[in-house]
Chains A and B, each alone.
Chain A
Amino acid sequence: MKGVPLDWAYVAAFALLGSLLAALPFAVVWLLAPRSSYSQKRLTYESGVIPFGDAWAQFHVRYYLYGLVFLLFDIEVIFIYPWTVVLRQLGPLAFVEMLIFIVVLAVGLAYAWRKGGLEWT
């Protein structure tokens, strides 16, 4: 295995072994902890009252909007990553190209802002 795949072999090792190690204490608890389940204990917590209704929350479209605008700007970010690496070599031209890109997106952001897409309520 050469350079790049080896790099990521480390990543994979961290992920796999990390999951294993994170799961390990559960085995310990399984051995050590008492287990007596009765219905009262399993009631979900609601400030001391018996919980009523299903566990729902007011799902406003705003969560979706935040998520969406984030996604779109995340896509902008992935273009900027390579740009940072070659900026010094390519000079002003590269800068102007990215400037145009970002300005267009900034206009989009301004639109979202004006139309209240970024508001909590």
Chain B
Amino acid sequence: MAEAVAFYGLTAVALGASLVVALSRNMVHAAVSLIPVLLSVAGYYVLLGAEFVAAIQILIYAGAITVLILFVILLTEGATGVRVRPRNEQVSLGALVCLFLAALLVAVLTRTPWPQTQGALPEYNPGAVGQSFLTAYVLPFEVTSLLIVACLVGAIVVARREA
């Protein structure tokens, strides 16, 4: 019962804020509205029992990525005139494509027999996650570090070239 309330509450917040993100004319409003969306996703993780993922969702997405997005917006759009035209002449065509895509997604999601994972979620999340990526999934873990460094090098190269 409480779960249902929480779920629908989170969904309402997520959908509402997403609409603001997509439709707002003010880029900074859009960026800041992203925060409720990200926090609701964290809420979903909690409802699924994945509190570790929820915490890192808040830490990374709401805490770091939003800051980065805001920096980028201020860097490119400038402080005041952050008015963007969210609609142009092709609105109707775009809307049609969106509806089609939505219908497709709903059809696929409802008709696929999703396999259920066996077993229950481990009690202590961080411990279980740690066990898995340090034993069974070591390789993806180490490769991630390479991915991160590649990202870093790329950003430095691009940014410094312009300076």
Contact with B along A32-43 (1 / 0, CB 8 A): 000000000000
Cross-chain contact B159 with A117 (CB below 8 angstroms): yes
Could you tell me if B75 and A54 are in contact, using CB atoms closer than 8 angstroms? no
CB closest residue in chain B, given A74: B64
The binding surface of chain B is classed by DSSP as: helix
How many B residues, CB 8 Å from partner?
54
Do B159 and A108 have beta carbons less than 8 Å apart?
no
Residues of B within 8 A of A94 (CB): 130, 134
Interface band, chain A? 35 or more
| CB–CB B148/A61 < 8 A | no
Residues of A within 8 A of B (CB): 1, 3-5, 7-9, 12, 54-57, 59-61, 63-65, 67-72, 74-79, 81-86, 90, 93-94, 97-98, 100-102, 104-105, 107-109, 111-112, 115-117
**A-contacting residues of B (Cβ < 8 Å)?**
2-3, 6, 43, 46-47, 49, 51-52, 54, 56, 59-60, 63-65, 67-68, 71-72, 74-75, 78-81, 123-124, 126-127, 129-131, 133-135, 138, 141-142, 144-146, 148-149, 151-153, 155-157, 159-160, 162-163
